[in-house]
Structure 1
């Protein structure tokens, strides 16, 4: 499941600041439809993403009915990204088949 979207880098302050891009509502709704096939627990969704020239693997965090894409320093620094910057994200949700148990 592939997506391309634009969003603004936001900062969530805590003991250490975290940076995210909010996944738009339409894409979040599509992800929720396949969440059971993607999540490995706690509602986080594994993804492969690209911002600028940087490709990375991470997990979406569920938040307020949508999802947040975390942007580590290794993703932000090569492009000089900071809070308030607009970015385009290419993202693939990593789906897995039903688990047998």
Structure 2
């Protein structure tokens, strides 16, 4: 793994919007790597001559669960000090994971 890649294992959880248009599935990113992620994102954006923070504080990542690899963005959760990784339906289906499963995921910061 590169210097900006992490392995996380956490329980898949769901959030339902108030308007009930759907459920959103997430993995929480452990607090112990949050500061590294935030720092990497700010430095990377400075290198590119961009504002230090993307919309909602999003951080681009390449995520790998099992054999499925995709690019997405992590977002600060309700706590603002922890990130959440959205796990889309196609990934959950391909890897056979459901809410409550412990899921291991490789995250590479882009």
TM-score by length of 2: 0.79
Structure 1 match to 2:7: 4
Q: Tell me which residue corresponds to 1:79.
A: 95
Alignment of 1:47-86 (within 5 A): 47-63=61-77, 64=79, 65-86=81-102
**1:17 paired residue among 23, 26, 29:** 23
The CA deviation string for residues 45-88 of structure 1, in whole angstroms up to 9 with x for no partner, is 00001011100000001111110000000110012211100011
**Number of residue pairs aligned between Structure 1 and Structure 2:** 94
Q: Please say which of residues 41-50 and 29-38 is displaced more in the overlay.
A: 29-38
The structure in which a higher percent of residues are strand is 1
**SS at structure 2 position matched to 1:91:** strand
Give the TM-score normalised by the residue count of structure 1: 0.86
Q: CA deviation at 1:22?
A: 0.2
Q: What are the ranges of 5 or more consecutive residues in structure 1 without an aligned counterpart?
A: 95-101
